[in-house]
Structure 1
Amino acid sequence: MFSRLPRALYNPTLSRIPRITTVLHYRKTQVSAPLLVRRCHSGRGGASLASALIPNDIKRNKPQHVAEATQLSKEDYSSLVEVYFEAVIEYTGHAQGEGFSITLEHRNDVITITAPGIGDYFLQRQHRTHQIWLYSPISGSKDYDWVVDGLKQYVDDGVTMGEWLHLSDGTNLSDVLNTELGLKMEMLFG
């Protein structure tokens, strides 16, 4: 009979004993599996054991993102965006050829990609800030800057490798389009 009642009702002294619950924490770190953490709760707001159970190296290993975009001239920005937009159009055509029912419209400085069941994606040039703006019905809107990482920089015959990145979280524009739309865009360069 007592099994269906909260333990504090049939034994008031138990209401002061902390409950232990299990919480899964997902982190954007190099740890591939979710981190299992036990927290101790008491009726009075109790202390959390999570900080004691998480190793210090995980606490300190926050993802490192690029701090700033590569400075571009107007001509460089225009040519990089043109190359990228042409690649988006090309890879969208490949996806359509493979049976994906997505449509693409390119007008002036805006590419609109419509994916049935998902919604409309907008890629737009931002001339003033030298960025590409993406609106995604899945991941929201973000600005992407051209970034050439000094450690990964590759220069051959005047071609510099780089990528369009969202500076605050490090996401790659091509990766977002590949993941959400099923495109198979490869590393692009300018």
Structure 2
Amino acid sequence: MLTRTAPRAALSALTPSLRLTCVSAASAALQFQTQKFHASSAIRKGIYPDSADPPAPNPESNNVAGGASHVKEPSPLTDPEYHEYSEHYFNVLLSELEQAQEDGSDVEAEYSAGVLNIIVPGVGTYVLNKQPPNKQIWLSSPISGPKRFDWILEGDQMHEKQDSRPYIHGQWIYLRDGTNLTDILNSELTLNLPKDIYGESEE
């Protein structure tokens, strides 16, 4: 009966060249088994050109604003309302920019014919302009890129309390991802625009 050490004793009895051949053959066999194991594992788990497309981990939601289900599309605006709300927003923004300049900011602003250029040294130029045909405000930012903002006014829906509705007095919102124009300007230009610009105008 062979013990566990018998193969090692038998191997030591061989000539050095024959012993090396046996060791090399055993090593090659072990390497082949290891490679074979990894290859078969990769075939089961890998994705190849002829593989079926995997399902998306998070299918896109129908909620384009990324918020409550009722913030999906612009609130209706008449032409006079659009001009009033957009002009009010630009006036508040210009006042805030003037205050920033008085506080020592290097930001420069030029406003003409519904187009506001905000020049930030070392960053670039922000362009905000009114789009009356679409009733939108467009922003081109050197940081976050171009966005088109629609007027959103929440109503008394979804069993919400009035002070929990962020758009109760109206906000300019990028419907694709729910981004708020005021939030972008405050963040990127380090301004202090009030969150509820239109609510404060009513007080």
Whether TM-score is above 0.5 comes out as yes
Q: Which one has the bigger strand percentage? A: 1
Q: What letter corresponds to residue 178 of structure 1 in structure 2?
A: N
Q: Which one has the bigger helix percentage? A: 2
Q: Choose between structure 1 and 2 for higher RCO, CA contacts under 8 A separated by at least 6 residues.
A: 2
Deviations 1:22-50 (A, max 9, x none): xxxxxxxxxxxxxxxxxx953756997x9
| Percent identical | 32
The aligned counterpart of 2:9 is none
Q: Within 5 A, what are the aligned runs for 1:17-166? A: 17-18=41-42, 42=46, 44=48, 51=57, 63-64=66-67, 66-151=71-156, 161-166=169-174
Unaligned runs of 5+ in 2: 1-30, 163-167
Counting matched residue pairs gives: 153
Q: What letter corresponds to residue 184 of structure 2 in structure 1?
A: V
Summarize the Cα distance change of 1:91–1:46 in structure 2 as closer, same or farther, 3 Å threshold: same
The aligned counterpart of 1:176 is 184
Deviations 1:132-155 (A, max 9, x none): 11111112111111110114796x
Summarize the Cα distance change of 1:104–1:69 in structure 2 as closer, same or farther, 3 Å threshold: same
Structure with higher Rg: it is 2
Summarize the Cα distance change of 1:11–1:64 in structure 2 as closer, same or farther, 3 Å threshold: same
TM-score of the superposed pair, with normalisation by structure 1: 0.66
Please state how far the C-alpha of 1:98 moved relative to its aligned partner.
Answer: 3.2
CA distance in 1, matches of 2:139, 2:121: 18
Summarize the Cα distance change of 1:153–1:42 in structure 2 as closer, same or farther, 3 Å threshold: same
Unaligned runs of 5+ in 1: 1-7, 19-39, 155-159
Q: What letter corresponds to residue 169 of structure 2 in structure 1?
A: M
Q: What letter corresponds to residue 140 of structure 1 in structure 2?
A: G
